[in-house]
Chains A and B, each alone.
Chain A
Amino acid sequence: DVKVTQSSRYLVKRTGEKVFLECVQDMDHENMFWYRQDPGLGLRLIYFSYDVKMKEKGDIPEGYSVSREKKERFSLILESASTNQTSMYLCASSLRHMGELFFGEGSRLTVL
């Protein structure tokens, strides 16, 4: 089974702090994604990556950046956290077909 692991399940940060969300997958998938999940808004794509060191903006990239230095790891960075970034963040990966995603358990971030 593909395993997508998000190391931080719950985080509480203060406004202005820098936040790192880490995601690791163990099945050599090319594609990795960061989504944000909010009630009533569904899943919105923040960034995705189709190869090491490659990244593409999704629908809501403002306030976020990403890093993919190794194939198995995709990090989401909030340079200066704000209260409107309080959310559930979902990491996902896929082999080639971007429609069949494997998700992590999520990282719930609260920004005070």
Chain B
Amino acid sequence: AQRVTQPEKLLSVFKGAPVELKCNYSYSGSPELFWYVQYSRQRLQLLLRHISRESIKGFTADLNKGETSFHLKKPFAQEEDSAMYYCALYSGNTPLVFGKGTRLSVIA
């Protein structure tokens, strides 16, 4: 069975500090991993996907198949990064499986 684990419900960091939101997955095949974000009073939206290998809003995420992880990182947190972040796994034949989410709070 596919599973996505986000171990932190809440992560608080100071503005300018590095951020790492953890995501681990379990899946026997080759998954596609995604990060979705929901800012206050906005709809949930795609932030980035691992196969794009791009940086969005300063965030990056690298798929580590050995550790089955897809952690989201940003070197310097900004107040506008405060949001709910969901890691999600796509196996190719079933809909996305989401983690339980991590709320990031960036303190000024």
Task: Please report A residues at the B interface, Cβ cutoff 8 Å.
Answer: 4, 31, 33, 35, 40-45, 48, 58, 90, 92, 97-106
Q: How large is the interface on B (under 10, 10 to 19, 20 to 34, 35 or more residues)?
A: 20 to 34
Please pick, from A4, A48, A102, A104, the residue contacting B95 in the complex, using a CB distance under 8 A. Answer: A48
The 6 closest A-B pairs by CB, nearest first: A99-B90, A42-B100, A43-B98, A103-B44, A103-B43, A105-B43
A-B pairs with beta carbons under 8 A, tally: 48
Q: Is the CB of B46 within 8 A of A42?
A: no
Q: Beyond A40-B100, A99-B32, is A58–B95 a contact (Cβ under 8 Å)?
A: yes
Query: With an 8 A cutoff between CB atoms, is B30 at the interface?
Result: no
Q: A58-B95, A105-B43 are known contacts. Are A98 and B101 too (CB-CB below 8 A)?
A: no
Contact of B34 among A58, A99, A102 (CB under 8 A): A99
B96 close to A101 (CB less than 8 A): yes
| B86 is an interface residue with CB less than 8 A from chain A | yes
**Inter-chain contact A98/B95, CB cutoff 8 Å:** yes
Residues of B within 8 A of A (CB): 6, 9, 32, 34, 36, 43-46, 49, 86, 88, 90, 94-96, 98-101
Q: Which residue of A lies closest to B88 (CB)?
A: A99
**Highest count of chain A CB atoms <10 Å: which of B43, B46, B86, B95:** B95
- List the A side residues contacting B99 at CB < 8 Å: 42
